Structure 1
């Protein structure tokens, strides 16, 4: 399950986020405990704890003392907003800069994208 390129805690957090986005984990749904996660994936519980702490800090999960961890009601919206923000920063900002350098007006890019959307319908 885990690759060598990314820290395991990061991969766990990303996996939980993906499960929220694809509907496998629903708002209010209970998430495996850190000990269950550690046992299932045969990892150090501290590693799982780090991933869960990060998700709590991001507002994706919340902890009910003595009960467990749960998916926040607005987790999917938070994740979608974060994805959009990163998409604009990583994909569109460089695209706009490159288009400007090439002398391509932004209206031409918009027209192109609208034509692509029309072709898909």
Structure 2
């Protein structure tokens, strides 16, 4: 499951974020404990705890004393909002700049996007 490109705790946090985004983990659903994560993936419990702490700090998870960790009620929408903003910053803004450098009118881009929305082939 884990690779060498980023720290394991970050990969765990990213996996949980993805599960929340795609609906595998739902609002107020309990997630595995840090010890369960550590045992299942054969990692140090401190590594799993670091991932969970990051998600709690972000508001994706919340703790219930004596019961465990749960998905925050608004976690999915919160993550979607973050991803939407990143989409514009990482995809749309550079595309518009590239189009400008190629003298492609914005209207032509909009027309192309509308074709995709309507299911037509450009």
Q: Same fold (TM over 0.5)?
A: yes
The residue number in structure 1 matching 2:71 is 71
Q: CA deviation at 1:103?
A: 1.2
Which segments of 5 or more consecutive residues in structure 1 lack a partner in the other structure?
Answer: none
Alpha-carbon separation, structure 1, partners of 2:108 and 2:53: 44
Displacement after TM superposition at 1:4 (Å): 1.1
Q: Does 1:113 align with 2:113?
A: yes
Structure 1 runs (4+) deviating above 6 angstroms are none
Q: Distance in 2 between matches of 1:105 and 1:52?
A: 46
Q: Distance in 2 between matches of 1:93 and 1:54?
A: 29
Equivalent runs, 1:65-104 vs 2, <5 Å: 65-104=65-104
Count the aligned residue pairs: 121
* Aligned mates of 2:17, 2:61 — CA distance in 1: 10
Structure 1 counterpart SS, 2:47: helix
Q: Secondary structure, in 3 states, of the residue corresponding to 1:66?
A: coil
Counterpart for residue 43 of structure 1? 43
Q: Which residue in 1 is equivalent to 2:52?
A: 52
Helix, strand or coil at the partner of 1:31: coil
- Residue 108 (structure 1) shift: 1.2
Give the unaligned 5+ runs of structure 2: none
TM-score normalized with structure 1 length? 0.94
The alignment's C-alpha RMSD in Å is: 1.4
